């Protein structure tokens, strides 16, 4: 690692504070998803080994990973929650290398995609299954043409809109020299110019970008429904992020994305408390007291909440105030069996697209149905997303054969509205931090990592710098290694 000026400044600052106080400090992290795991990782990466830091992590489940989890459908595992990563998710890319994980290459299947309106497919690509690569290429070209015929030049405008959002997001990977530590989500979003996208709905933003109403009502709606279970009335930023998650080059971790959290926790010298739910966080003098459902009590210098607080029953003392919001629930239903072609007005199963998306219609019982694995012509594993639980009777009408059915009800991501109001990263003006405040901008594995990296820097500058230190201010001195803190 090559240390630039500001990194050196930070480290000398930490060394100074460690030597001055001879202190031992405890950071307690609630939640072992990618957010909590990333806070632990960046705290270790950015602090010198001489800093005597204990990191405790609490996880109510028996496994780490949170919303990155696999499901076992008749002996085979599939992603049950977060499944895809964008090629420019650079923290995830680095985690993969660091942890020596194997990547599932982007699949180039041409199994077909269709938009279902409850009665018919309003749009359907070709689905010629072939082992010959040139046939695949011709099919995919033909499909691009079909899309172009229906949606026209608006598709190019959509691509530009997404590209511009992704390029702004890349600023969060800049070095410490140019990238400040952000004390609030608002400030963090304004710095990249993404804040405005959270103030208006996706539909408004796309209309302004010149997209046709047909594209917004059909393809865009299908994508926001699949990725966030919501309509184009969601905020523009989360909407743009969901569109980015429908492009090319998407990837995942072989064996499960949860291994990113597991690997980071393993190599960050964390005291991990599984099956231990935190019930209360009380500020007592200079410390925090965390009480768990096991009846244990822990004293921490710094407390980090790395899970959404919206549906949690954690008792804060003194109380903290965050904007009220709801989580969008996504019911993921896994079925091994066979779809009933008659339900879709078709004669045979292969005519049904591999990915069935839907338009916004409250009467539709499902949001999407996709093939996870084709075992044989009449034996397929499917994943269904829906806003409400899938009733047995509806499953019976959609499927002609059902050998196994598994249901998961996810408190999946925020229900996005515009304009968005953000909770603070610093919940109490002292050392109680909230990583998932950033989730109201957009919820992905990568955004959790980006928020966690900022929170780790915030902790190091605010706690170990004694006074609020802005690394940007530190970096503005070019005399190298000088400590610029008012002690």
Ligand X SMILES: *[C@@H]1O[C@H](CO)[C@@H](O)[C@H](O)[C@H]1NC(C)=O
- The least distance separating ligand X from the CB of residue 262, rounded to whole angstroms, comes to 15
The length of the chain, given as a count of residues: 487
Work out which of 72, 105, 299, 409 binds ligand X, going by CB under 6 A.
72
**Nearest CB to ligand X, comparing residues 22 and 478:** 22
**Nearest CB to ligand FAD, comparing residues 18 and 412:** 412
Q: Which of residues 289-308 bind ligand X (CB under 6 A)?
A: 289, 291, 297
Count other C-beta atoms under 10 Å from residue 46's C-beta. Answer: 20
Binding status of residue 280 toward ligand X by CB under 6 A: yes
- Find the part of the chain contacting ligand X (CB under 6 A) among 86-94, 234-242, 339-347, 365-373: 86-94
**How many CA atoms lie within 13 Å of 272's alpha carbon, on the beta-carbon side?**
25
Q: Distance between CA atoms of 164 and 5, rounded to whole angstroms?
A: 31
Q: Distance between CA atoms of 359 and 160, rounded to whole angstroms?
A: 23
**Nearest CB to ligand X, comparing residues 297 and 476:** 297
- Find the part of the chain contacting ligand X (CB under 6 A) among 71-79, 153-161, 332-340, 387-395: 71-79
Q: Do 216 and 157 form a contact (C-beta atoms < 8 A)?
A: no
- Find the part of the chain contacting ligand X (CB under 6 A) among 12-20, 88-96, 211-219, 421-429: 88-96
The residue among 194, 206, 196, 199 whose CA lies nearest residue 232 is 206
**Nearest CB to ligand X, comparing residues 276 and 354:** 276
**Nearest CB to ligand FAD, comparing residues 7 and 290:** 290
Work out which of 77, 108, 144, 476 binds ligand X, going by CB under 6 A.
77
Burial of 89-119, coded b for 16+ CB within 10 Å and e otherwise, reads: bbbbbebbeeeebeebeeeeebbbbbbbeee
CA–CA distances in Å: residue 419 to residues 8, 157, 199, 209, 348 = 40, 23, 4, 18, 46
CA 117 to chain centre: 28
**Nearest CB to ligand FAD, comparing residues 408 and 473:** 408
DSSP assignment string, 98-124: HTTPPEEPPP-----EEEE-SSSEEEE
Binding site for ligand FAD (CB under 6 A): 30-36, 58-61, 66-68, 81-84, 277-278, 306-307, 312, 314, 330, 332, 410, 412-413, 436, 443-446, 448
**Nearest CB to ligand X, comparing residues 91 and 383:** 91
Under 8 Å CB-to-CB from 127, ≥6 apart: which residues? Answer: 110, 111, 112, 139, 350, 353, 354
Q: Do 336 and 347 form a contact (C-beta atoms < 8 A)?
A: no
Which string of x and - marks every residue 4-43 that binds ligand X (by CB under 6 A)?
A: --------------------x-------------------
- The least distance separating ligand FAD from the CB of residue 322, rounded to whole angstroms, comes to 15
- The least distance separating ligand FAD from the CB of residue 149, rounded to whole angstroms, comes to 29
Select from ligand FAD, ligand X, none the partner in contact with residue 90, using the beta carbon and a kind-dependent cut-off of 5 to 8 Å. Answer: ligand X
Q: Which of residues 193-232 bind ligand X (CB under 6 A)?
A: 193, 196
- The least distance separating ligand FAD from the CB of residue 484, rounded to whole angstroms, comes to 33
Q: Distance between CA atoms of 31 and 414, rounded to whole angstroms?
A: 17
Mode of pairing for the β-strands spanning 24-30 and 52-58: parallel
Work out which of 75, 133, 318, 376 binds ligand X, going by CB under 6 A.
75
In sequence order, what E strands does 14-156 have?
24-30, 52-58, 70-73, 76-79, 103-104, 113-116, 121-124
Which string of x and - marks every residue 171-190 that binds ligand X (by CB under 6 A)?
A: --x-----------------
Binding status of residue 403 toward ligand X by CB under 6 A: no
Q: Do 235 and 197 form a contact (C-beta atoms < 8 A)?
A: yes
Select from ligand FAD, ligand X, none the partner in contact with residue 236, using the beta carbon and a kind-dependent cut-off of 5 to 8 Å. Answer: none
**Nearest CB to ligand X, comparing residues 61 and 340:** 61
**Nearest CB to ligand FAD, comparing residues 267 and 275:** 275
Select from ligand FAD, ligand X, none the partner in contact with residue 448, using the beta carbon and a kind-dependent cut-off of 5 to 8 Å. Answer: ligand FAD
**Nearest CB to ligand FAD, comparing residues 59 and 218:** 59
The residue among 403, 119, 421, 69 whose CA lies nearest residue 260 is 69
- The C-alpha angle 476, 480, 483, rounded to 5 degrees, equals 75
CA 35 to chain centre: 9
- The least distance separating ligand X from the CB of residue 289, rounded to whole angstroms, comes to 6
Q: Do 328 and 228 form a contact (C-beta atoms < 8 A)?
A: yes
**Nearest CB to ligand FAD, comparing residues 13 and 59:** 59
Q: How many helices (H) and strands (E) does the chain have?
A: 14, 20
Could you tell me how many residues of this chain bind ligand X (CB under 6 A)? 19
Q: Distance between CA atoms of 383 and 369, rounded to whole angstroms?
A: 6
- The contact set with ligand X (CB under 6 A) reads 24, 52, 72, 75, 77, 90-91, 94, 100, 173, 193, 196, 280, 282, 289, 291, 297, 315, 317
């Amino acid at each position: 690692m090559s240390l630039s000026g500001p990194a050196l400044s930070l480290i000398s600052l930490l060394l100074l504070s460690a030597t001055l106080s001879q202190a031992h400090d405890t950071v307690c992290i609630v939640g072992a998803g990618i957010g909590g795991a990333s806070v632990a990782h960046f705290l270790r990466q950015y602090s010198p080994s001489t800093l005597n830091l204990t990191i405790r992590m609490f996880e109510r489940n028996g496994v780490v990973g949170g919303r990155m989890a696999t499901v076992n459908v008749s002996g085979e595992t599939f992603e049950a929650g977060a499944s895809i990563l964008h090629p420019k998710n650079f923290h995830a890319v680095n985690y993969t290398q660091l942890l020596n994980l194997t990547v599932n290459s982007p699949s180039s299947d041409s199994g077909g995609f269709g938009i279902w309106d409850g009665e018919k497919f309003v749009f359907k690509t070709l689905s010629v299954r072939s082992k010959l690569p040139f046939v695949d290429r011709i099919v995919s070209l033909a499909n691009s043409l079909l899309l172009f015929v229906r949606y026209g030049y608006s598709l190019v405008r959509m691509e530009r809109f997404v590209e511009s959002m992704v390029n702004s997001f890349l600023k969060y990977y800049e070095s410490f020299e140019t990238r400040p530590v952000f004390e609030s989500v608002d400030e963090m979003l304004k710095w990249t110019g993404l804040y405005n996208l959270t103030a208006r709905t996706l539909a408004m933003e796309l209309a302004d970008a010149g997209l046709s109403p047909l594209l917004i009502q059909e393809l865009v709606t299908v994508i926001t429904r699949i990725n966030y279970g919501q309509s184009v009335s969601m905020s523009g930023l989360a909407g743009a992020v969901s569109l980015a998650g429908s492009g090319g080059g998407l990837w995942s971790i072989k064996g499960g994305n949860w291994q990113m959290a597991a690997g980071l926790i393993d190599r960050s010298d964390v005291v991990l408390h599984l099956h231990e739910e935190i019930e209360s966080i009380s500020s007592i003098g200079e410390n925090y007291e965390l009480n768990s459902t096991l009846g244990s009590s822990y004293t921490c210098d710094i407390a980090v909440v790395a899970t959404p607080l919206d549906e949690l029953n954690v008792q804060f003392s003194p109380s903290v105030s965050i904007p009220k919001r709801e989580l969008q629930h996504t019911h993921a239903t896994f079925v091994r069996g066979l779809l009933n072609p008659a339900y879709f007005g078709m004669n045979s199963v292969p005519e049904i697209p591999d990915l069935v998306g839907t338009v916004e219609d409250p009467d539709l019982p499902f949001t999407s149905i996709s093939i996870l694995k084709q075992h044989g012509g009449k034996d397929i594993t499917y994943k269904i997303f829906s806003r409400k639980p899938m009733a047995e009777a509806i499953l019976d009408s959609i499927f002609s054969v059902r050998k196994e059915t598994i249901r998961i009800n996810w408190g999946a991501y925020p229900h996005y509205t515009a304009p968005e109001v953000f909770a603070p990263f610093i919940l109490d003006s002292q050392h109680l931090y909230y990583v998932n405040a950033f989730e109201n901008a957009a919820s992905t594995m990568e955004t959790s990592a980006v928020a966690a990296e900022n929170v780790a820097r915030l902790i190091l500058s605010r706690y170990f710098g004694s006074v609020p230190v802005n690394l940007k201010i530190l970096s503005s001195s070019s005399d190298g290694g000088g400590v610029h803190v008012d002690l």
